[in-house]
Amino acid sequence: MRIATRGSPLARWQAERVAALLGDDAELVVVETSGDKRPDTPIHEMGGTGVFVKEVQQAVLDGRADIAVHSAKDLTSEPTPGLVIAAVPERGDPRDALVGSTLDDLRTGAVVATGSVRRRAQLAALRPDLGFAELRGNMETRLRKAADFDAIVVAAAALDRLGLDEHITERMATNVMLPQVAQGALAVECGEDDDATRARLVAIDDADLHRSVDAERAFLAELGGGCDLPVGALARAKGDEIEVEGLVASLDGRIVLRETVNDTDPESAGRALAEALRFAEELT
């Protein structure tokens, strides 16, 4: 199985994890993405979601790879023509993690480093006194930079997967910091007409998790945003229903709107949540 992936340690871990789940020998097709080529540029200045996946997807479209493995949060909310998300096999801890200090222990005027406008907006709402700095690079680079700030914020799942969870000072509850759409989930794409590969990937798909990620992605698609917009969501399967909680905030964190919607259809739940938050925004 030829697996297209970015070259970072986390991306390789994810690709190898999918290979292990499939029980196949794998050849990694390592691809450098637009986001990798500009490590010092804030993600929202490069166009937001999608900068870490387009070249990886192209490897499948060109026939250089059979599947592409991504952090699901890096995917654009709209489907890529010619590809399908055939499996969402597992999700790590979806929460955000503070490294260097707990939220309560941060001094007045502390500087927190994060490249995410979603994280900045929610932290600013909780602690208007905080200052913020940009943070990019692979996880090892981010951890090295942590000493330059009072704290940094990263995805807990990334540290868990790399065996670096001892650096976590606080895992932030989702009622305090709602995660990015699909954070912690793996997504596996293949060609939409590649029936044989799709059939193999179905065997490792977690149906309830896939529905939850579909709901979160539908929410983001309906809003028409990416990681350049302070948006968060987290969905959970509850029997036949999907419960999805979402957030939209102003960049400065002065306005933070949250709603929760339940529906049996994931995409309907996501769209309804987006409409509810649009209506709430109009009332502010």
Taking the C-alpha atoms of residue 93 and residue 199, their distance in angstroms, rounded to an integer, is: 27
**Does 81 share its domain with 117?**
no
Q: Are residues 82 and 24 in the same domain?
A: yes
Looking up residue 13, the CATH number of its domain turns out to be 3.40.190.10
**Each residue of 119-167: pLDDT tens digit?**
999 999 999 999 999 998 889 999 999 999 999 999 999 999 999 999 9
Q: Does residue 74 carry a catalytic annotation?
A: yes
Q: Residue 25 domain-assigned?
A: yes
Residue 109 · residue 132 · CB < 8 Å: no
| Domain match, 260 and 192 both | no
Q: What average pLDDT score do residues 45-70 get? A: 83
Question: 176 lies in a domain?
Answer: no
pLDDT for 11 beyond 70 = yes
Q: What is the CATH number for 232? A: 3.30.160.40
Assign residue 138 a region (left: φ > 0; alpha: ψ between -120 and 50; beta: otherwise).
beta
Q: Do 72 and 197 have their domain in common?
A: yes
Instruction: Tell me: pLDDT of 43 over 50.
Output: no
Let me know whether 164 and 140 are in one domain: yes
Q: pLDDT tens across 217-240, in order?
A: 999 999 985 546 799 999 999 999
Residue 138 in domain = yes
CA 134 to CA 106: how far, in whole Å?
Answer: 18
Question: Strands of 186-191's sheet, edge to edge?
Answer: 27-30, 2-5, 67-71, 186-191, 83-87
Q: Is residue 179 part of a domain?
A: no
Are residue 197 and residue 85 in the same domain, yes or no? yes
Please tell me the distance from the alpha carbon of residue 265 to that of residue 245, in angstroms, as a whole number: 15
Domain count along the chain:
3
Residue 163 C-beta-side C-alpha neighbours within 13 Å: 2
Same domain, 110 and 190: no
Q: What is the pLDDT of residue 229?
A: 73
- Of all residues in the chain, what percent carry a pLDDT higher than 90? 85
Domain holding 50, by residue range, is 1-90+185-205
178 occurs within a structural domain: no
How much is the pLDDT for 29? 96
Three-class DSSP category at 168: coil
3 and 61, same domain (yes or no): yes
Same domain, 19 and 140: no
Residue 147 lies in a domain: yes
pLDDT in tens, 173-197: 999 999 999 999 999 999 999 999 9
Residue 65 domain-assigned? yes
What's the whole-model pTM score?
Answer: 0.91
Q: Are residues 149 and 262 in the same domain?
A: no
Q: Which is the catalytic residue, given 74, 93, 194, 263?
A: 74
